[in-house]
């Protein structure tokens, strides 16, 4: 029973006498991080904490912080193609990689280009129904689970309108839906990154801002 759970698990902890091994699997590779046991116990017992390690094959987690009773998770999703639903039409569109901030059943979403690192610039995500601060406008979307992956999936598969559709495209600064239609008609395999509009934030700045000022989320 235990061996089956370990074999099926994507990540688990191994408790040793003086330390803990954090083991995670991604793309047939195994990653191991050794954690000092007293430090782990101290972190768990603190009301305010943050962590910058954890790997999951589908959703990569970059930062967890807990401050003033609120837990914030910053994670990323790789670029992918989605079927976007609008009231009278659907679009099959490749979208850029997403940085997702999750706090208290809310999401903030940003785009990134290329390989992601702490110095990566964040961009306005090229979808409607996301305000200029990156916050998702849920409308009547029903949320069955309160975690980043499920909430992102609920959002991107919901029906969009044209709220908050400006300042997200270089080619169509007043209507991101027009840009999405062009990308869909072009049959491109990737979203045109040169069209993205910068937020003047980096991933590191986003994590630092959240750690120091939890009221931002």
Question: Could you report the per-residue pLDDT of 109-162, keeping only the tens digit for each?
Answer: 999 998 887 788 999 999 999 999 999 998 877 776 667 888 898 999 999 998
pLDDT > 70 fraction of the chain, expressed in percent and rounded: 65
Q: What is the mean pLDDT of residues 6-30?
A: 65
Average pLDDT over residues 58-83: 77
| pLDDT at residue 204, rounded to an integer | 83
Q: Is the pLDDT of residue 56 over 50?
A: no
**pLDDT, mean of residues 169-193:** 94
Quote the pLDDT of residue 203: 86
Element (H, E) at 153: helix 148-156
pLDDT score recorded for residue 211: 56
Rounded to an integer, what distance in angstroms lies between the CA atom of residue 42 and that of residue 3? 29
DSSP secondary structure of 94-136: EE-EEEEEEETTEEEEEEE-SS--TTPEEEE-SSSSB-TTSBB
Task: Give residue-wise pLDDT tens across range 76-120.
Answer: 888 999 999 999 999 999 999 999 998 888 899 999 998 887 788
Contact 102, 151 (CB under 8 A): yes
- Contact present, 124 and 111 (Cβ < 8 Å): yes
């Amino acid at each position: 029973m235990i061996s089956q759970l370990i074999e099926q698990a994507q990540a688990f902890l191994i408790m040793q006498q003086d330390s803990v091994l954090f083991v995670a699997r991604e793309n047939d590779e195994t990653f191991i991080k050794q954690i000092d046991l007293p430090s782990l116990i101290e972190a768990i017992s603190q009301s305010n904490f943050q962590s910058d390690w954890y790997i999951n094959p589908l959703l990569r987690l970059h930062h967890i912080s807990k401050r003033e009773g609120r837990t914030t998770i910053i994670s990323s999703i790789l670029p992918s193609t989605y079927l976007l639903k609008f009231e009278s039409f659907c679009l099959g569109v490749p979208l850029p990689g997403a940085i997702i901030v999750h706090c208290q059943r809310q999401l903030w979403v940003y785009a990134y280009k290329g390989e992601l690192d702490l110095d990566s610039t964040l961009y306005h995500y090229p979808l409607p129904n996301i305000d200029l601060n990156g916050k998702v406008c849920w409308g009547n979307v029903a949320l069955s689970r309160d975690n980043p992956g499920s909430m992102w999936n609920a959002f991107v598969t919901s029906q969009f309108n044209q709220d908050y559709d400006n300042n997200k495209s270089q080619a169509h600064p007043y209507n991101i839906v027009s840009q999405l239609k062009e990308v869909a008609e072009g049959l491109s395999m990737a979203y045109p990154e040169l069209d993205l509009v910068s937020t003047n934030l980096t991933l590191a700045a986003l994590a630092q801002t959240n750690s120091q000022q939890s009221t931002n989320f």
